[in-house]
Amino acid sequence: MLFLWGSNARETHPIFFHHVLKGIHNGTKVVSVDPRCTPTAQWAHRYLPIRVGTDIALANAMAREIIDARLANEPFIARATAGFDAYRASLDRYTLAYAERETGIDAGLIREAAHLYARADRAMICWTLGITEHHNAVDNVLSLINLALLTGHVGRYGSGLNPLRGQNNVQGGGDMGAIPNRFVGFQDIRDPEVCETFARAWGVPQKNEYGKTMTQMFEAIEHGEMRSLFVIGENPVQSEADQHKTKHVLSSLDHLVVFDIFMTKTAELADVVLPSAAGWCESEGTVVNSERRVQRIRKALEPPGEARDEIAVLCDLARRLGTDWGELSAEQVWDEVRAMAPAMFGGMSYARLEQEQGLRWPCPDESHPGTMYLHERLWHEPRSGLPAPFSVVEHELPLEQADADYPFVLTTGRRLADYNTGVQSGGFTSPLRRSESLDMHPDDVGRLGFADGQSVRISSRRGSVVAPVRTDPTMQRGLVFMTPHFQDDVRVNELTIDATDPKSGTAEFKACAVKLEPLEVVPERELRAHAGSVGD
């Protein structure tokens, strides 16, 4: 069986969902947990209509039910895990009745989902941004990991946990060390031995302290501790949760360099813009997908104008800064990755990646076939390596709740034919595309006296935008939905809250409180914006 938790894979990961559909036709039970009855939920065996941001209440109540019904995998817990007693004790208050109150999901449905999961031969939990775009994102993920440890649904073929990545190289970015606390191959920067290895290989001493997450960088800029910024392939002005604040922070820098394939809203603020080749079709290299498969990207086109290959530009930059790396090919860079993280990538030569449709890490040597699933060691008798820890996590509501002043909860997500801030997907004409709308339950539309298509003002404590109402019976009452796709027309990220998870730096795009007002007189500027909106 398969949990799709906070994931509308039918629209956001359509080809992954083809594999899910094969499973459904073969009898796989799918449970969808989502505040909206999405096209994904419509394919599910059971749909759990969760109130936004109450995932931990649901996961913990399922766990309590699994334990109470004696469905926990006790031999697995005893052999492979740690911290079970503290975890079990922490579940005390998560009764089915409590969970029903908090999540809005019928207690019987929660019980049924818990039993389906625990009794399944093989079960997976896949999640997407519905789990991670919250101020307690890491806790949300830990609550799902707890369920897998409780039932032993991890480390075996057909079982496990999988975050469905939103871009072709989200996984690869972390794998390659483009995160502030790890070198390539998840090697800890604070490990003195690791630091020494990299210092020796690169001939430069390495600080064994963690760098800053993007959120921390923005704070450091605000406090005047960081005065210049090099932004590569990111459009924070339109992708961060609070647009006003982001613009203000970036404008206060002494020096901003943007290296991008587009003249983005962020690039417009830059002192220097370096035009880039499009990584996936104008240069060579690798990306890593959601199944840890390292895949080759290849140059199919010459980049336009002065746009140049990323590696060449970075080598030039290094030369200007006094270090000559020579002319590096993508394969040479990759071979250094293999040399510096041999346990994960050692066996993945370009020749093998070519012949074997990519390889899944770890793949330590040339004779290794790659690894289909992780954590098999948890099934070794006796256990090898450290036990997998349970984590005590508590239910916490999103920072903003609907109240008398802001009576609706706004949540955000993607549509099938569109993508993030629209800079890429806006480039083709899609018969499916319609401009931004405020999706609401028909009862709410009626109660407020709105009509379908009527423009309304949507305001949060941070800003306000105008968008037409769209009646949508898949919505819950009290919840409204918008996308990030049309930021040039409707700046939804002026509404969203810039609360972030202190553990991961992810922003709470999935919940903020808004109020809705009919437009008496439409300001001319906004009318123009509507008239020129994409796609219609």
Q: How far is CA 262 from CA 97, 268, 278, 433, in A?
A: 51, 10, 9, 22
CA distance 296 to 334: 11
Binding of residue 216 to other proteins (CB under 8 A):
no
Query: Considering CB under 8 A, how many residues would be counted as binding other proteins?
Result: 63
Nearest approach in angstroms of CB 121 to other proteins is 6
Q: Which of 201, 141, 177 is nearest to 501 (CA)?
A: 141
> Of 133, 135, 125, nearest to 58 (Cα)?
125
Dig out the tokens for 372 from the structure: 């289909």
Please, which residue, 204 or 432, has the CB nearer to other proteins?
432
Q: How far apart are CA 251 and CA 211, in angstroms?
A: 22
Q: Which of residues 23-62 bind other proteins (CB under 8 A)?
A: 25, 43
Q: Which stretch binds other proteins (CB under 8 A): 287-295, 472-480, 489-497, 511-519?
A: 287-295
Q: Which of residues 256-275 bind other proteins (CB under 8 A)?
A: 261-262
Q: Which is nearer to other proteins, 245 or 368 (CB)?
A: 368
Residue from the set 95, 168, 391, 454 that interacts with other proteins by CB under 8 A: 168
Pairing of strands 293-297, 359-360: antiparallel
Q: State in angstroms the smallest separation of the CB of 341 from other proteins.
A: 20
Instruction: Give CB contacts under 8 A, 24+ apart, made by 446-454.
Output: 448/516, 448/518, 449/518, 450/516, 450/518, 454/518, 454/519
Tell me how far, at minimum, the Cβ of 298 lies from other proteins, in Å.
5
Place of tokens 């040479």: 332
Task: Tell me the closest approach of the beta carbon of residue 140 to other proteins, in angstroms.
Answer: 18
Q: Which is nearer to other proteins, 298 or 380 (CB)?
A: 298
User: What whole-number distance in Å separates Cα of residue 58 and Cα of residue 91?
Assistant: 11
Task: Sketch the per residue contact string, 335 through 374, with other proteins: x for CB under 8 A, - otherwise.
Answer: ----------------------xx----------------
Give min distance, CB of 141 to other proteins, in A.
16
CB of 129 to other proteins, least distance (A): 11
- How does DSSP classify residue 363? -
By three-state DSSP, how is residue 62 classified? helix
Verify binding: residue 461, other proteins, rule CB under 8 A: no
Residues 420, 493: Cα–Cα separation, whole Å:
11
- Position 281 contacts other proteins (CB under 8 A): yes
H-only helix segments in 356-501: 442-447
Site for other proteins contains 173 (CB under 8 A): no
Element (H, E) at 295: strand 293-297
Rank residues 247 and 292 by Cβ distance to other proteins and give the closer one.
Answer: 292
CB of 25 to other proteins, least distance (A): 6
Q: What is the closest distance, in whole angstroms, from the C-beta atom of residue 478 to other proteins in the complex?
A: 29
Sign, Cα dihedral of 209, 213, 217, 219: negative
Cα distance between residue 405 and residue 512, in whole Å: 13
Per CB under 8 A, 166 contacts other proteins? yes
d(CA 106, CA 423): 41
Taking residue 381's Cβ as centre, other Cβ atoms within 10 Å add up to 8
C-alpha 16/C-alpha 10 separation (Å) is: 8
| Window 409 to 438, contacts with other proteins (CB under 8 A) | 416-417, 419, 423-432
Q: Which of residues 111-130 bind other proteins (CB under 8 A)?
A: 118-119, 121
313 touches other proteins by CB under 8 A: no
Q: Does 12 bind other proteins (CB under 8 A)?
A: yes
Among 69, 78, 97, 301, the residue binding other proteins under the rule CB under 8 A is 301
**DSSP structural state of residue 393:** -
Tokens read off for 107:
């207690």
Asked whether the beta carbons of 444 and 474 are under 8 A apart, the reply is: no
Segment contacting other proteins by CB under 8 A, of 149-157, 201-209, 317-325, 475-483: 149-157
Binding of other proteins by 401 (CB under 8 A): no
Interface residues toward other proteins, by CB under 8 A = 12-16, 18, 21, 25, 43, 71, 73, 118-119, 121, 151-152, 156-157, 164-168, 170-171, 261-262, 278-282, 287, 289-291, 293, 295-302, 304-305, 307, 357-358, 416-417, 419, 423-432
